[in-house]
A and B are shown apart, each in its own frame.
Chain A
């Protein structure tokens, strides 16, 4: 199945491209006449603008309703292909899609719209003297290998009635086009307003040509990749960036007492196993108050093993395997030389639990490495993460009462944009202001009617 999506109106020349993962190949097409793409999207946008926002919400919900069934043909095909290219197990991908799609149901979308815009129908016309207008065309450059991730920005763009040029991620190219094909069946006006394709990161000519057609730009990726896009954004364009991020967890003694060590370990294991720990939302380390750190780590070994049974870890390529084995051996040396340190792992690389009393000198590298670092108290945990403030994103905060409220505020001041319970780290909702900014409201321009006698007339 092709990994690109081009509406039927796009009849201009297109060039084929091929994405490879090991022996597997996937094909797609890339428009060559970007001016024609821009012109076509402008026409498609006129139709899209006439759709009421609630119809857009209904259509997305209907697509999700189909995709929510694991045996839905398009979903199965996507999951199988994604497993080949990401190396993740089908169960891990299915769980990722369950989580991601669950956030795109009508009630979630309306909640997000209401939170950010007050009244969703400001997108359809004036409501109480104000209206919100989305961009004509959004260029969204996706990256990473978290299945389903592009859905967020794609849906947010469509909600504000923007047409979209989407660059699909090379490391998970299947979801976007497959989702759009279903969307076309449900509401062609929406899918006809999207062109999804792929170009190489260093293909500056295509990036420039695509940028020329956009009023807003959304970039996902590493700091370098984002900087390269940011440098080309025009002054008139809205720009939204999701660059390098780091997430972690904190567990207080009171939290362990309230929920029990086994349950706390189960929640940490879920956070460290979801998406094989490849998401920026995944914790790189859990800082646990010292009186419970060893017990949590011991239980965590069992919990990680059960996660691996229920949702098998993906295959790890040679490079990642080398990194992981090296880290394990470095951790084993630490464990051999320090009473405060220990390593639990099976013979293979499926999962690793490391207990230590220092944040350095070892760090997690994804692929289900659960690091527990013991800290004297919650304040010390916050301090330990202070050097990473610039990149902080998501914190699984296992604390209760006043300590929870105080620490959450400290983390917010430090730079975190999301605080959730342990076990919910990878399940960020659409209501969350993604990386700290309102991402629906961030795409719109407002127009207020004021000082006009017509305003108050029925």
Chain B
């Protein structure tokens, strides 16, 4: 017997999850168990999967390429996001119910308040290298940026700076000039590779800023599928040169998840100097031992993200990334990819990892 979206149990669960994701209040383990039960009752696929591999093991991200598990098929989705396709050539979809989308919004905003507000509480100018929500209604990151700016950004100067023709350098320049003139800190946020391109372009134009104290950058997405790979510190140096920003961090987000993970420490851990991501009572990254599937406190294995702000899908996801667990958190060190031996080739290498 499945649990309907408008069942009072779901409303109660939503309230508890909302308190946890916003204020860190409540019993995460109990809520985890309630979400596990909901997933097993509402999705026979998930129940069968967990019966085989162990209850609570992350569902692989590949599940969403052909629809994936959605726990409230009875309620019309209020929003559908499409995955970026970086995990393969096929773009998947995820659906959100009314309560699911509301919980996601609350979580994104609460997370932004925790991580993006400069220490003195001033609302920074948030400039996002993403399209606007209107321009990209199926892009989860565009949705998230609006909530992030709304929760903690300066309402007048914050904006998305990707237009129909890519980065709108005029708009970016005007907003940066205004922030400098008014002494407002700036938060630059966008795809890792967007930062590389923007810094390249601005350096070529000979333009640079010394942004006010408290300014910082957050990049996300890494270099997967890109022809050029840069070490984390190299990227930070470029951002420092162009924007005069001293504080840097990386965000990990996936369309399949509702919330994002932020760097928890400025300690290089991964092969490119990737920093460890931290957790919160409402979830965070863990690493599964590749041999036993048990959680590791230290070492390398499969990255698994728990997201207690995820109501519409199983809240534990195997992202397909390599995780490195250290005491401060988990560094995310790129996609798990097969390596060839000498002349032996595997099918997925020939299809560019699409398998």
Footprint of B on A, CB under 8 Å?
143-146, 149, 169, 171, 220-222, 242-246, 278-280, 282, 284-285, 318-326, 329-330, 332-333, 335-337, 343, 348-349, 359-366, 387-388, 391
Cβ 8 A contact of A242, one of B45, B340, B343 = B343
- A residues in contact with B65, CB < 8 Å: 361
Given contact pairs A322-B301, A323-B336, A325-B293, A280 touches B346 in the complex (Cβ within 8 A): no
Taking a contact as CB atoms under 8 Å apart, the answer to whether B338 and A365 are in contact is yes
Given contact pairs A246-B350, A318-B300, A366 touches B63 in the complex (Cβ within 8 A): no
- A residues in contact with B350, CB < 8 Å: 246, 387-388, 391
Taking a contact as CB atoms under 8 Å apart, the answer to whether B60 and A243 are in contact is no
Please name 12 pairs of A and B residues whose Cβ atoms are closer than 8 Å in the assembled complex, sorted by A. A146-B342, A149-B342, A246-B347, A246-B350, A278-B344, A319-B300, A333-B49, A333-B62, A335-B52, A336-B48, A361-B354, A366-B344
Taking a contact as CB atoms under 8 Å apart, the answer to whether A144 and B60 are in contact is no
Given contact pairs A361-B355, A366-B344, A391-B345, A330 touches B339 in the complex (Cβ within 8 A): no
Taking a contact as CB atoms under 8 Å apart, the answer to whether A326 and B342 are in contact is no
- Closest B residue to A277 by beta carbon equals B344
Cα–Cα, bound, A349→B299 (Å): 18
Given contact pairs A278-B341, A337-B45, A361-B88, A329 touches B346 in the complex (Cβ within 8 A): no
In the complex, besides A360-B347, A360-B354, A365-B338, 19 extra interface pairs with C-beta distance below 8 angstroms are A171-B341, A222-B342, A244-B343, A244-B345, A282-B344, A285-B347, A318-B290, A318-B300, A321-B291, A324-B290, A325-B291, A336-B46, A336-B49, A337-B48, A348-B291, A360-B355, A361-B65, A361-B354, A366-B341
Cα–Cα, bound, A326→B304 (Å): 11
- Closest A residue to B292 by beta carbon equals A347
For window 21-79 of B, CB contacts with A under 8 Å fall at: 45-46, 48-49, 52-53, 57-60, 62-63, 65
Given contact pairs A280-B342, A333-B59, A325 touches B290 in the complex (Cβ within 8 A): yes
Cα–Cα, bound, A144→B301 (Å): 25
Interface size on B, residues (CB 8 A): 43
Most buried by A among B58, B302, B342: B342
B233 near A: Cβ within 8 Å?
no
Closest 9 CB pairs of A and B: A144-B342, A363-B347, A336-B49, A321-B290, A336-B48, A365-B338, A244-B345, A322-B290, A280-B344
- A residues in contact with B338, CB < 8 Å: 323, 363, 365-366
- Closest A residue to B61 by beta carbon equals A330
- B residues in contact with A365, CB < 8 Å: 338, 346, 348
B351 near A: Cβ within 8 Å?
yes
- B residues in contact with A149, CB < 8 Å: 342
Q: How far is the CB of B293 from chain A (nearest CB, A)?
A: 7
Cβ 8 A contact of B347, one of A145, A335, A388 = A388
Given contact pairs A326-B60, A329-B60, A330-B62, A245 touches B300 in the complex (Cβ within 8 A): no
- A residues in contact with B302, CB < 8 Å: 322, 325-326, 329
Cα–Cα, bound, A319→B340 (Å): 12
Taking a contact as CB atoms under 8 Å apart, the answer to whether B344 and A144 are in contact is yes
B320 near A: Cβ within 8 Å?
yes
- B residues in contact with A222, CB < 8 Å: 340, 342-343
Majority secondary structure of chain B interface residues (helix, strand, loop or mixed): mixed
- Closest B residue to A364 by beta carbon equals B346
Taking a contact as CB atoms under 8 Å apart, the answer to whether B49 and A246 are in contact is no
Cα–Cα, bound, A81→B100 (Å): 57
Cα–Cα, bound, A359→B346 (Å): 12
Taking a contact as CB atoms under 8 Å apart, the answer to whether B347 and A364 are in contact is yes
- B residues in contact with A221, CB < 8 Å: 342-343
- A residues in contact with B339, CB < 8 Å: 319-320, 323
Most buried by A among B52, B63, B299, B346: B346
- Closest A residue to B67 by beta carbon equals A337
Cα–Cα, bound, A155→B88 (Å): 43
- Mask of B317-355 contacts with A, CB within 8 angstroms, 1/0: 010101000000000000011111111111111110011
Taking a contact as CB atoms under 8 Å apart, the answer to whether B345 and A280 are in contact is yes
- Closest A residue to B287 by beta carbon equals A322
Taking a contact as CB atoms under 8 Å apart, the answer to whether A245 and B347 are in contact is no
Cα–Cα, bound, A34→B322 (Å): 43
B288 near A: Cβ within 8 Å?
yes
- B residues in contact with A387, CB < 8 Å: 350-351
- B residues in contact with A320, CB < 8 Å: 339
Given contact pairs A246-B350, A319-B339, A329-B318, A363 touches B48 in the complex (Cβ within 8 A): no
Most buried by B among A145, A278, A332: A332
Cβ 8 A contact of B351, one of A348, A360, A364 = A360
Q: How far is the CB of A190 from chain B (nearest CB, A)?
A: 26
- A residues in contact with B62, CB < 8 Å: 330, 333, 361
- Closest B residue to A337 by beta carbon equals B45
Cβ 8 A contact of B336, one of A220, A284, A326, A332 = A326
Cβ 8 A contact of A220, one of B291, B343, B349 = B343
Given contact pairs A333-B59, A333-B62, A363 touches B344 in the complex (Cβ within 8 A): no
- Closest A residue to B57 by beta carbon equals A329
- Closest B residue to A243 by beta carbon equals B343
Q: How far is the CB of B319 from chain A (nearest CB, A)?
A: 10
- Closest A residue to B88 by beta carbon equals A361
Given contact pairs A221-B343, A318-B290, A326 touches B49 in the complex (Cβ within 8 A): no
- Closest A residue to B51 by beta carbon equals A336
Cα–Cα, bound, A279→B346 (Å): 11
- Closest A residue to B291 by beta carbon equals A321
- Closest A residue to B338 by beta carbon equals A365
Q: How far is the CB of B158 from chain A (nearest CB, A)?
A: 39
Q: How far is the CB of B336 from chain A (nearest CB, A)?
A: 5
Cβ 8 A contact of A145, one of B318, B342, B349 = B342
